[in-house]
Amino acid sequence: MKKNHRILLAALLLTFFALPASLQAKDFKVISYNIRNSSAYKADGENCWENRKKATINLIKREKPDMIGMQEVLPDQLEYVTKKAKGYGHIGVGRDDGKNEGENMVVYYNKRRFRLLDSATRWLSETPEQVSLGWDGACRRTVTYVLLQEKKTGKKIAYLNTHLDHVGPVARRESVLLLCKFIDELVPAGVPVILGGDMNSTIEDNIFRPLEQKAHMKVARDVAPVTDNEGTYNAWGRHADVIDHFFIRDVTPIEFHCLKGDYGAPFISDHYPISLTFSF
């Protein structure tokens, strides 16, 4: 082999092995993560956002998700994560004005792997296309929808990121019915779907039955070949409730994990992120 050819081959190999794992594999990873809003700094004390924000970036760098849906993201948190999360595009609006105010159910996606084809925000209320409070809910709640296309194959996938109300049982029940409606209306026929978020209910709650019966979705944690039973809401070490979930349709689950590792803070949030590795 000529010297120039050897140099070229070595350069190509170095380039390949320098790529993130998600760009080498055929599999994909999505993370759902309630980051705990930054306004609760007095109540959270040493667990305030200022002491955890680097851990959030460490999470992204270590786990290398292709998509990540975050809940409770306030404008200062959005600005920080967006600046630090290199190579990711993002979609989402503030729930209190449809622009910047209030919590954002933001979706980040790997721009090198996906292109954004479509997106939408809907309020979980009787008037979903307007900034609005639903039923007996304590807060305005939204869902962020993205339709992504893998650049390499042209395959499409839909992802919805949401946060159900923590107080209103009617709001939670009606919101799930709305999510089924949004999936039917927004997702093109035949496109695989992932719905994830902080649902503020355990999976045994009957509010989730329409996702199975109407939207034909499965609980990712239950059907993944590799999975766990770890609690997702930790309340800074005081609880272990399973209230963060992924639901999937026409997606092949590979691994589900509750991410309880050390990312540089005792607790990355009062919720542990959840991760789903999948193919489609």
pLDDT digits (tens, 9 = 90+) for 257-266: 999 999 999 9
Count H helices, E strands: the chain?
8, 12
Residue 49 has pLDDT above 90, yes or no: yes
189-198 residue pLDDT tens: 999 999 999 9
Per the listing, tokens 């991760």 go with: 275
Q: Which CATH fold would you assign to the domain 26-279?
A: Deoxyribonuclease I; Chain A (3.60.10)
233-258 residue pLDDT tens: 999 999 999 999 999 999 999 999 99
Residue 20 has pLDDT above 60, yes or no: no
Residue 24 has pLDDT above 50, yes or no: no
CB-based contact 175:219 (threshold 8 Å): no
* pLDDT (0 to 100) of residue 8: 46
Residue 240 contacts by C-beta under 8 Å, 6 or more apart in sequence? 230, 231, 233, 234
Residue 44 has pLDDT above 80, yes or no: yes
The mean pLDDT of 72-89, rounded to a whole number, is 98
* pLDDT (0 to 100) of residue 26: 82
209-233 residue pLDDT tens: 999 999 999 999 999 999 999 999 9
3-state helix, strand, coil split of the chain in percent (to 5) is 30, 30, 40
* φ, ψ (nearest 5 deg) of residue 52: -115, -10
Longest dimension (CA), the chain: 74
Residue 74 has pLDDT above 80, yes or no: yes
Backbone CA torsion sign across 137, 102, 144, 221? negative
* pLDDT (0 to 100) of residue 25: 56
Whole-structure pTM value: 0.90
The mean pLDDT of 14-38, rounded to a whole number, is 72
Question: Residue 22: pLDDT band by 50, 70, 90 thresholds?
Answer: very low
For the chain, the residue count is 280
Return the DSSP state at 232. Answer: S
CA 64/CA 46 separation, integer angstroms: 27
* pLDDT (0 to 100) of residue 12: 46
Question: Residue 6: pLDDT band by 50, 70, 90 thresholds?
Answer: low
Residue ranges of domains in the chain? 26-279
Question: Residue 109: pLDDT band by 50, 70, 90 thresholds?
Answer: very high
Q: What is the mean pLDDT of the chain?
A: 93
- Helix segments in the chain, DSSP class H: 3-18, 21-24, 41-44, 49-63, 75-84, 169-186, 209-213, 220-223
* pLDDT (0 to 100) of residue 101: 98
Query: Residue 159 forms beta bridges with which residues?
Result: 146, 194
Residue 23 has pLDDT above 70, yes or no: no
- State how far the alpha carbon of 8 is from the alpha carbons of 1, 12, 15, 23, 138, in Å: 11, 6, 11, 21, 61
**C-alpha angle 265-271-276 in degrees, rounded to nearest 5:** 100
pLDDT above 90 as % of the chain: 90
* φ, ψ (nearest 5 deg) of residue 75: -55, -40
The mean pLDDT of 34-51, rounded to a whole number, is 96
Return the DSSP state at 207. Answer: G
